[in-house]
């Protein structure tokens, strides 16, 4: 496994063809040479890497990565210049609660299977699935692969607890710590027309 110096800045195109800039803050990019796998039919290769990622960045924000298990990969030659990649890792990101904005530790498990092709084989279906993003010649860009999986496994909603009360929309107090005393009455907008009529009658 070879590593290139400098902070990794990559681009990932998902199936919608919408491009997302991504950044993994780590000192070296992870490139895995798969020449031996592609040139030996039936070859199975296993790798375990301490990813040492610092943060995950997307359009949703920048999230520090505070815990992570080693990334375990199994790469199998499936013939016809193709290889099946199976991977597993668990990471913990720091994110904000969607209701009260408190910092929350969010575990994210990534389990994936991905077929890639050697540069000697052209497969339009694999290119449509983004194979060109993770393969650089015979080298697998593991950072792009992991980023893609993290992007797809981001939680839809983050809560510090299921019954989080959020914050007061007027004063900003965390309502999990007690009531703030603000007037929370919200008038029914359907009554506004009647109120306008009564007001007009009084003026007459």
Place 95 in a pLDDT band, splitting at 50, 70 and 90: very high
Closest among 49, 50, 52, 55 to 23, alpha carbons compared: 55
pLDDT over 80 at 23, yes or no: no
Average pLDDT, the chain: 79
Closest among 76, 103, 79 to 92, alpha carbons compared: 103
pTM of the model: 0.68
Q: Which residues pair with 123 in a beta bridge?
A: none
Which phi-psi region, left, alpha or beta, contains residue 138 (left: φ > 0; alpha: ψ -120 to 50)? alpha
- The C-alpha atoms of residue 120 and residue 174 are separated, in whole angstroms, by 59
- The C-alpha atoms of residue 133 and residue 139 are separated, in whole angstroms, by 11
Q: What is the pLDDT of residues 107-136, one digit of tens each?
A: 999 999 999 988 887 655 555 454 447 888
Question: What proportion of the chain, given as a percentage, has pLDDT over 70?
Answer: 70
């Amino acid at each position: 496994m070879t590593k290139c110096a400098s902070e990794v800045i990559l681009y990932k195109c998902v199936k919608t063809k919408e491009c997302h800039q991504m950044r993994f803050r780590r000192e070296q990019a992870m490139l895995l040479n798969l020449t031996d796998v592609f040139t030996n039919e039936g070859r199975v290769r296993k790798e375990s890497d301490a990813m040492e990622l610092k943060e995950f960045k997307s359009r949703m924000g920048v999230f520090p990565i505070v815990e992570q298990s080693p990334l375990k990969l199994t790469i199998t030659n499936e013939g016809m210049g193709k290889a099946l990649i199976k991977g597993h890792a668990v990471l913990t990101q720091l994110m904000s609660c969607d209701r009260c904005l408190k910092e929350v530790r969010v575990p994210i498990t990534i389990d994936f299977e991905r077929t890639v092709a050697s540069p000697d084989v052209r497969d339009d279906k694999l290119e449509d699935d983004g194979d060109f993003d993770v393969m650089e010649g015979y080298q697998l860009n593991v950072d792009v692969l992991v980023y893609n999986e993290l992007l797809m496994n981001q939680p839809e909603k983050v809560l510090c607890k299921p019954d989080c009360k959020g914050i007061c929309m007027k004063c900003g107090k965390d309502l999990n710590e007690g009531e703030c005393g603000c007037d929370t009455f919200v008038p029914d907008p359907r009554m506004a027309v009647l109120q306008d009529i009564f007001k007009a009658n009084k003026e007459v």
